[in-house]
Structures are given as structure tokens and as C-alpha cells.
Amino acid sequence: MSKPKIFVARAIFPEVISRLEEHFEVQANQADKAWTKAELIAQLHDKDGAFMTGSDRIDADVLAACPQLKICSTMAVGYNNLDIDAMTAAGVLATNAPDVLTETTADFGFALLMATARRMTESEHYLRAGKWTQWSYDMFAGADIHGATLGILGMGRIGQGIAKRGALGFGMKVIYHNRSRLAPELEAECKARYVSKEELLKTADHLVLVLPYSAASHHSIGAAELALMKPSATLINIARGGIVDDAALAAALRDKRIAAAGLDVFEGEPKVHPDLLTVPNVVLTPHIASATVPTRLAMANLATDNLIGFFKDKKPLTPINPAVLAIK
Ligand code: GLV
């Protein structure tokens, strides 16, 4: 029996390509070309499955042009690049890569929070520019982390990881807001108190965004929400571009309506709103929260396991739209 044909949308670890080749006829993209929609269709139209990243979009047009496609396995946990309703309607399975990146991403969220509150990149630029000539009592004085109030918007697995780091490691008071409240034992484990979104915005010294992107979470933080925050507050976005109104945030940072922001994700990335590049009180990183070698390998291996499980006996590990499996 011939092997299923798989398209690997972007470059990936060579050992992952080798694993895939044991099970599939693989068309790889080790040159790491990013595809337009038409190019993606040209690559995918005769494939049975796709190994995807968070940058590749699957929508109704792509699905209509690729009738042979049965599964898109993304190595990201977030899947707002996949039109799940259209995939389900077309009978195409979607799988993602949760859990394996939780701790690494929570580490990064905390690192970005610390770098932002303690003004690390701003002060490094100052030093590198040769401007450090003497001590001064308020030179790059920032905000404390320990003992401060940590607000978390979106309390899934990564939010809970950040809560634990703050409460247990830094003696922070943790408050959170989420679509649904956590079970009491999880709240106790995270030492986190549920509050309204308004109280979260008004009370947090540091606010970390970890909610999934959807039409409902678009611009969850805009001018009105920023106006409720403390002028001394920091805002951290490790969730998705589009959850924050980047233009409104740049204006708030410029006018010092909040103290600082740390951003790993951007509206329309890899483009970054030009105003964010001109304000000094922002730490900017290129969507790398899950980027450690072991974690990226674990994500890629989980995406591979999902493809293998699906084609072997219709048993992927982490399906997003499992209803498709019932009708296959
Ligand atoms: C990264 O942003 C992911 O969703 O895995």
C-alpha cells in the first residue's frame, strides 16, 4: 500500500522529517519558504495531510482546492490560523500541540514581565549607546515584581503556570479573569482569586494576557481598557496579535498612561505597528515564547504523532474537531 502524502509547510528539525518519512511520502520545505495562499494550494492540492505551523492559514478556499486533504496537524497550541468550522464542514481533521509548551511559555511570560518591569532592554540600549557616564538615584528605576499584584487575563494551562510562578516564586498576589472560573482546587493550587475584568484592569500592577484569539477576544485590550489600568502598570502580551489594539497601546505608552509593555505577539505580525518601534518603554520579541530547543522538538513530535495516529487507526492524540473522526 502506498504511503499517505504529507506536506510539511515550513522547515523543521531534520530528525522530525526522518520520523515522518518512516510513515509518509513527505514533501518538505527545508528552505523555509513562507507561502501565499495560491502557493500553499499548489503544494497541498494532491496531499493527504499537512504538518503546519501557526503561520500557515487554512480556510474554505484552501479546503475547496484540496479535496484529498484529510488532516492538518499544527505544531502550535493556538490555532486561530485554521478555520475550524470550515475544516469540520469539509470533513478535515485539525490537531494542535497543547501541554508540551506550557511550562516553557510560562517561563517566557515571566521573563518578559521581569524584563519589562525592570526596564532591561531600554537600559541595555542606553549602555550600548555609550550614554552611561554616572550613577543616578532614579536611573531606569522600574516596578517591583515581588509582592506586587499579578493580573492574568485567560486562565488556561499557561495562565496557571504564570500564576504559580508569581505566587510561589515571587510572593505576588494573583488575580485573574477568564471566560469560566477555575475549580476551587485549581484556584487554591495557583493561589489565584477570580475577579471581574474591570477589577483586573484597575487592580493589577502587572497584567499578563494569555487568552486565545477569536472574534470575541479581538481588541480585548483597547483604549478604554488601557484607561482603566494604573499609570504604573505593565502589560504583557504572549497570547496573540489582535487581542491588543496595538495603535491604542502605542499611544498609551507614548503618553505614559501605563508605564510599560512587553510584547511577543503583534497585530499583522511579522509586521509591527511602527509607533511601537518608536516608544522606549516597550520590550519587543518576535513571537518566541515557546522557543526552546527541547520544547520546539516536543511540539514537532506531537504534531508528527497526531499524523501517525490519524493515518494508522484514526486515533490522533490531540484533535481539535474530533467530530470529524466519527464521520470518517
Ligand atoms: C504559539 O504561539 C503557539 O500557539 O504554539
Cα angle 126-104-98, degrees, rounded to a multiple of 5: 135
The domain defined by 102-284 folds into Rossmann fold (3.40.50)
Residue 201 has pLDDT above 90, yes or no: yes
Q: Dump pLDDT digits (tens) for 62-75.
A: 999 999 999 999 99
Q: Indicate if 240 belongs to the active site.
A: yes
Has 269 been annotated as catalytic? yes
Cell of 59: 480556510
Q: Domains of the chain: which residue ranges?
A: 5-100+293-326, 102-284
Region 308-320: what's the mean pLDDT?
A: 97
pLDDT digits (tens, 9 = 90+) for 217-265: 999 999 999 999 999 999 999 999 999 999 999 999 999 999 999 999 9
Give tens-digit pLDDT for 18-30. Answer: 999 999 999 999 9
- Ligand 1 centroid to Cα of residue 80, in Å, is 10
Pick the catalytic residue: 240, 267, 273, 296? 240
**pLDDT, tens digit (0-9, with 9 covering 90-100), for 139-148:** 999 999 999 9
Residue 8 has pLDDT above 90, yes or no: yes
Strands (E), the chain: 5-8, 25-27, 49-52, 71-74, 93-95, 149-153, 173-177, 192-194, 206-209, 234-237, 260-263, 282-284
* 236 three-state secondary structure: strand
For residue 84, name the pLDDT band (cuts at 50, 70, 90): very high
CA atoms of 291 and 17, how far apart (whole Å): 19
- Judge whether 5-100+293-326 and 102-284 match in fold: yes
287 has catalytic annotation: yes
Ligand 1: distance of its center to the CA of 132 in Å?
38
Nearest 5°: the CA angle 123, 261, 281 is 35
Q: Which atom of ligand 1 sits closest to the CA of residue 78?
A: 4
219 in Cβ contact with 243 (< 8 Å): yes
How far apart are the CA of 77 and the centre of ligand 1, in A?
Answer: 5
Centre of ligand 1 from the C-alpha of residue 290, in Å: 7
Residue 1, pLDDT score:
76
For residues 87 and 319, the answer to whether their CB atoms sit within 8 Å is no
**Per the structure block, which three cell numbers stand in for 31?**
528552505
CATH number of 5-100+293-326: 3.40.50.720
Task: Name the catalytic one among 103, 189, 199, 269.
Answer: 269
pLDDT at 284: 98
Please tell me the residue having the least CA distance from ligand 1 atom 3. 76
> What is the pLDDT averaged over residues 101-112?
98
